[in-house]
Amino acid sequence: MRLLLFIILFVVLLPLFLIGVAIFTWRIRRVCVPQNISGTANEPYASRLFMHIAGSRIDDAGYKIAKYLPSYGGIVRFLIIDTTRLACKLSGYKGWMFSYPGPRPSTLATLMSHRSYFFDESIREALTRNENPATQFVVLGAGYDTRCYDLPEGSDINCFEVDMPPTLNAKKQALELAGVPHDHVTFVETDFNQETWMEALLNSGFNPNLTTYILWEGVTMYLVEEAVRDTFNLITTLPSGSAAGVDFFSKDLIEGNPPFERISKAMHRGIKYYSENLQFGIPTGKKLSAGIEELSKESGLTLTKFEHVGSEGDKLPPWYFFSHIEKH
């Protein structure tokens, strides 16, 4: 009944929603891409916004800054997000589209909920464990992630957000205009394909002798293999107990090998819309985690938690993987 009511309300509001999508699309192509502001940062961010307005995963900071971001600013947040929020509120619907942590096995439609929950738990475990908790939190390729503004209560964490200057500056401006406190966050400008992020961190007050958690979410697939390996080698220089949350696409998906020919072509075309390219994927075998385990081992790290989208028995086997990796 709630789903039916939601659909009826959403259909009524659909014209406003579609106008918002049209404006959003124009802003991505005519504002964000020309200024080298990440377009792909909007994908996971949008999912978290929808979970927030449905009340399944609260993200007050994320919702507040939307009004001032180049993609969702002003009327776009109202047309896309707030209209959907109204339909959710009046219907009471919090179904699979907005679920958190979402169903398992997750699907293409619910993978962002799965991904958000995996990394939320990965962060919480590292920052709140009783023995040797992380006291530094680094978000590599921060985009519009807002986890630095929703830290565990009573925690004393030094936060660093690392990204390309255009995206970082757009986010900082949105935080300031939205009145979201961010004095505890150090913003670090870098280019993952061109320079060492560790060097940029060290120049910004990062202490390499403190136990650190690194969130590296939604980034590896856009990098060259050398940049991915270099990052793993830098993580291993951190103290024991340091950890990283990292996601990967499969190598077969990136290369379009069977049975991923169609979805690979579709994803490559979709990413080109943002003027970006998919480049790196992790090899898989009989054991899906084998490629990640090998990559971690080569850098002196240990894979301690692993999940994937979909089921091994599906017609289209798992191609998206989430990992929690530690320095022992």
Q: What confidence tier does 285 reach under pLDDT thresholds 50, 70, 90? A: confident
- Total of domains in the chain: 2
Domain presence at residue 7: yes
Which amino acid is it at 242? S
- The CATH number given to whatever domain includes residue 145 is 3.40.50.150
Please tell me the pTM assigned to this model.
Answer: 0.95
Q: Write out pLDDT tens, residues 51-67.
A: 999 999 999 999 999 99
Count CB neighbours of 263 within 10 A.
14
Binned at pLDDT 50, 70 and 90, residue 267 comes out as very high
Average pLDDT, integer, range 109-131:
95
Do residues 74 and 153 both lie within one domain? no
Residues 223 and 117 in one domain: yes
Domain match, 30 and 150 both: no
The verdict on 21 and 145 lying in the same domain is no
Which one, of 231, 248, 225, 44, lies nearest residue 138 by Cα?
231
Whole domain around residue 270: which residue ranges?
111-326
CA-wise closest residue to 285 among 317, 322, 315, 326:
317
Identify whether the C-beta of residue 160 lies closer than 8 Å to the C-beta of residue 139: yes
> What is the three-class DSSP state of 215?
strand
pLDDT of amino acid 153: 77
**Cα three-residue angle 118-124-127, rounded to 5 degrees:** 140
> What confidence category does residue 192 fall into, taking pLDDT thresholds of 50, 70 and 90?
low
Burial of 262: CB neighbours in 10 Å, binned 0-12, 13-18, 19+: exposed
Cα(309)–Cα(177) distance, integer angstroms:
37
Q: Mean pLDDT throughout 96-123?
A: 93
**pLDDT surpasses 70 at 195:** no
Q: 307: which strand partners?
A: 322
Structure tokens at 25: 């699309």
Q: Is the C-alpha dihedral spanning 220, 118, 40, 211 positive or negative? A: negative
Please indicate, yes or no, if residue 104 is contained in any of the structural domains.
no
- In the predicted model, is pLDDT for residue 193 greater than 60? no
Residue 105 lies in a domain: no
- Answer yes or no: is pLDDT of 148 > 70: yes
How would residue 7 be classed by pLDDT, with cut points 50, 70 and 90? Answer: very high
Same domain, 164 and 282: yes
Q: Are residues 84 and 209 in the same domain?
A: no
Q: In this predicted structure, what is the pLDDT of residue 138?
A: 98
Peptide bond into 283 cis (omega under 30): no
* Token reading at 111: 């993978």
Residue 328 scores a pLDDT above 60: yes
Among 98, 126, 159, which residue terminates a domain?
98
User: ω into residue 317 within 30 of 0, thus cis?
Assistant: no
Q: Same domain for 188 and 157?
A: yes
Amino acid at 215: L
Per-residue pLDDT, 155: 78
28 with 83, same domain: the answer is: yes
Percent pLDDT > 70 in the chain is: 99
Within-domain flag for 227: yes
Q: Which of 67, 98, 129 is the last residue of a domain?
A: 98
Question: What's the CA gap between 20 and 179, in Å, rounded?
Answer: 24
Residue 241 forms part of a structural domain: yes
Secondary structure (3-state) at 326? strand
Give 12-22 pLDDT, tens digit per residue.
999 999 999 99
